[in-house]
């Protein structure tokens, strides 16, 4: 496996960053080049260099900047000729895993690094553990799981679509230089494939699918007691349904639900402010742990006044009136109500003393002389 240190070698990915912060990630090929807006980066200038080296672009042919299919579209764009001029500097670095994930070819929408980081941390995924993943997609989560468990651990990934499995495998192979030996990539639906897996063998399970609540039975069969289940869903309806299914199963602890928002900042001298754009909602993480066989999960005692199940439209008029009386938000003592009314009366009286109410009434009378 490529240790990703030392001089750049042919075949590995390199990230080029200019002074404006614009990044380009490309694979080094002997005799190859990377097209930029400011000329070409020659790969032979990069191969053999170390990280942090500054590479200067060379002049590119004018034709390379023009739309090859519809050249007439660039007829009135003279500024494009400047893109062929070299002399632009780029710093060459190996991409971080987060950079690689965002730049790699993808067939399906990937999880953002902010969510992946929370999966690793809250799922307690670390070196040497056995992890089961469902939903490889383009391999973003798989790569991070492989890095987290390391060669001493093991990752089994179940992907429904064979074409997505090929994309994930190719991205992992490009990142490591070879397919990781501690990764088993299986194709098929989760229940059928998981049924062939050993019982209570996995320490952690990561589910990234549309209906994780339908996979809880097989997930519990293969996870070890105390194992952590992490599910990634994108909508509130998915999140709610999953949480209720975990509670109804009785063998999972009370689900922990969260989302992560990300905002970057700019700091230049005394000009310190947040960026105008941020990464808001991308998905919810639902985390739970497996109880030992024969033991039911502990639950909080629910108060009747906090009924969150019954639909109000299914109640009769008498039941609705009774429910309104039972709601905690309406439960206020007579003493508290008298105090609230007394305070409001005092504040309204102060408006009258200041002439605000009188002025308002006079204004209304002047606007409606016939009514007065």
CA-atom Rg of the chain in angstroms: 31
> What CATH number has the domain bearing residue 15?
3.10.330.20
Alpha carbon distance 51, 152 (integer Å):
28
Q: Are 40 and 57 in contact (CB under 8 A)?
A: yes
Do the domain assignments include residue 306?
A: no
- Answer for the pair 343, 321: CB distance below 8 angstroms, yes or no: no
Contact 41, 57 (CB under 8 A): yes
* CA distances from residue 180 to 162, 210, 258, 278 in whole angstroms, order as listed: 18, 27, 31, 34
Domain assignment of residue 62, given as a range? 7-69+82-95
**Mean pLDDT score, 105-123:** 86
Residue 133 CB coordination number (10 Å): 26
Q: Are residues 51 and 163 in the same domain?
A: no
Count CB atoms within 10 A of the CB of residue 283: 20
Q: Where does the pLDDT of residue 3 fall: very low under 50, low under 70, confident under 90, or very high at 90 and above?
A: low
Same domain, yes or no: 152 and 183: yes
**Closest by CA position to 234, among listed 103, 97, 106, 108:** 108
Q: Are residues 46 and 103 in the same domain?
A: no
121 lies in the same domain as 175: yes
Q: Evaluate whether 74 touches 66 at the Cβ level (below 8 Å).
A: yes
- Tell me how far apart the alpha carbons of residues 229 and 119 are, in angstroms, rounded to a whole number: 10
370 is a domain residue: no
Q: Is residue 147 part of a domain?
A: yes
Q: Count Cα atoms within 13 angstroms, Cβ side, for 228.
A: 16
Question: Where do runs of H (alpha helix) occur along 90-215?
Answer: 97-103, 113-122, 140-149, 162-176, 190-194
User: Hey, how many other C-beta atoms are within 10 angstroms of the C-beta on 321?
Assistant: 11
Residue where a domain terminates, one of 38, 60, 95: 95
What are the residues whose beta carbons fall under 8 Å from the beta carbon of 275, sequence distance 6 or more? 263, 264, 265, 266
Q: Are 140 and 111 in contact (CB under 8 A)?
A: yes
pTM attached to this predicted model: 0.74
Predicted local distance difference test score (pLDDT) of residue 37: 86
Q: Which residues are annotated as a binding site?
A: 159, 208
Q: Which two tokens stand for residue 335?
A: 């003493």
Q: Are 109 and 63 in a shared domain?
A: no
Residue 350 domain flag: no
User: In this predicted structure, what is the pLDDT of residue 372?
Assistant: 45
Adjacency order of strands within the sheet including 202-208: 183-187, 154-159, 130-134, 202-208, 223-233, 284-289, 256-258
Tell whether 229 is covered by a domain.
Answer: yes
For 306, half-sphere exposure in the C-beta direction (CA atoms, 13 angstrom radius) is 4
The pLDDT value recorded for residue 52 is 95
Domain assignment present for residue 167? The answer is yes
Instruction: Lowest mean pLDDT of 246-250, 271-275, 312-316, name the range.
Output: 312-316
- Domain check: are 181 and 286 in the same one? yes
Diameter over CA atoms, the chain: 92
Residues 91 and 128 in one domain: no
> Taking residues 263-277, what's their average pLDDT?
91
pLDDT at position 347: 87
What is the total count of domains within the chain?
A: 2
**One domain for residues 103 and 22:** no
Q: List, for residues 126-140, the tens digit of each pLDDT value.
A: 999 999 999 888 899
- pLDDT for 157 equals 97
- The pLDDT of residue 368 is 60
Share of the chain above pLDDT 70, in %: 82
Residues 106 and 191 in one domain: yes
What is the distance between the alpha carbons of residues 142 and 145, in angstroms, rounded to a whole number?
Answer: 5
Per-residue model confidence as pLDDT tens digits over 154-186:
999 999 999 999 999 999 998 988 999 999 999
Tens-digit pLDDT profile for residues 319-367 = 777 766 665 555 567 788 888 888 888 888 888 777 766 655 555 555 5
Residues 300, 304: Cα–Cα separation, whole Å: 12
Q: In what side-by-side order are the strands of the sheet with 89-93?
A: 23-27, 13-17, 89-93, 53-56
Note whether 147 and 20 are same-domain residues: no
Whether residues 33 and 172 share a domain: the answer is no
Binding residues for S-adenosyl-L-methionine, by number, are 159, 208
Higher pLDDT, 309 or 265: 265
What integer pLDDT is reported at residue 48 of this predicted model? 95
The proportion of the chain whose per-residue pLDDT surpasses 90, expressed as a percent, equals 59
Q: Residue 176 is part of a domain; what is its CATH number? A: 3.40.50.150
Phi, psi of 300 (to 5 degrees): -70, 145
Question: Does a structural domain hold residue 116?
Answer: yes
Distance CA 262, CA 98 (A): 14
231 plus 117 within the same structural domain? yes
With 0-12 CB in 10 A as exposed, 13-18 as middle and 19+ as buried, what is 304? exposed
Residues 90/57, Cβ–Cβ less than 8 Å: yes
């Amino acid at each position: 496996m490529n240790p990703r240190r030392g001089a750049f070698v042919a075949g590995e990915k390199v990230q080029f960053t200019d002074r404006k912060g614009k990044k380009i990630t490309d694979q080094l090929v002997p005799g190859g080049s990377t097209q930029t807006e400011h000329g070409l980066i020659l790969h032979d200038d990069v191969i053999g260099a170390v990280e942090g080296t500054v590479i200067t672009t060379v002049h590119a042919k004018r034709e390379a900047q023009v739309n090859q299919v519809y050249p007439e579209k660039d007829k009135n764009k003279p500024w494009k000729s400047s893109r062929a001029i070299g002399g632009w500097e780029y710093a060459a670095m190996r991409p971080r895993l987060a950079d690689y994930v965002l730049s790699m070819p993808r067939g399906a929408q990937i999880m953002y690094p902010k969510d992946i980081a929370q999966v690793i941390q809250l799922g307690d995924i670390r070196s040497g553990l056995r992890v089961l993943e469902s939903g490889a997609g383009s391999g973003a989560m798989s790569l991070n799981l492989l890095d987290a468990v390391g060669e001493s651990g093991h990752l089994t990934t179940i992907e429904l679509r064979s074409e997505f499995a090929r994309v994930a495998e190719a991205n992992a192979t490009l990142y490591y230089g070879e397919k990781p030996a501690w990764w088993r990539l299986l194709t098929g639906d989760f229940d059928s494939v998981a049924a062939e897996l050993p019982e209570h063998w996995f320490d952690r399970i990561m589910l990234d699918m549309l209906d994780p609540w339908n996979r809880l039975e097989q997930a519990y069969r293969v996870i070890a007691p105390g194992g952590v289940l992490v599910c990634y869903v994108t909508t509130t309806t998915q999140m709610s349904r999953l949480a209720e299914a975990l509670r109804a199963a009785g063998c999972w602890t009370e689900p922990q639900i969260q989302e992560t928002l990300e905002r970057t900042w700019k700091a230049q001298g005394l000009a310190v402010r947040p960026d105008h754009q941020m990464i808001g909602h991308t998905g919810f993480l639902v985390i739970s742990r497996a109880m030992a066989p024969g033991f039911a999960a502990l639950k909080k005692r629910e108060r009747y006044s906090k009924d969150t199940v019954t639909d109000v439209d299914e109640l009769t008029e008498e039941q609705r009136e009774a429910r309104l009386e039972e709601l905690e938000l309406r439960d206020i003592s007579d003493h508290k109500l008298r105090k609230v009314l007394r305070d409001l009366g005092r504040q309204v009286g102060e408006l009258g003393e200041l002439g605000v109410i009188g002025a308002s009434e006079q204004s209304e009378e002047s606007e409606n002389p016939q009514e007065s």
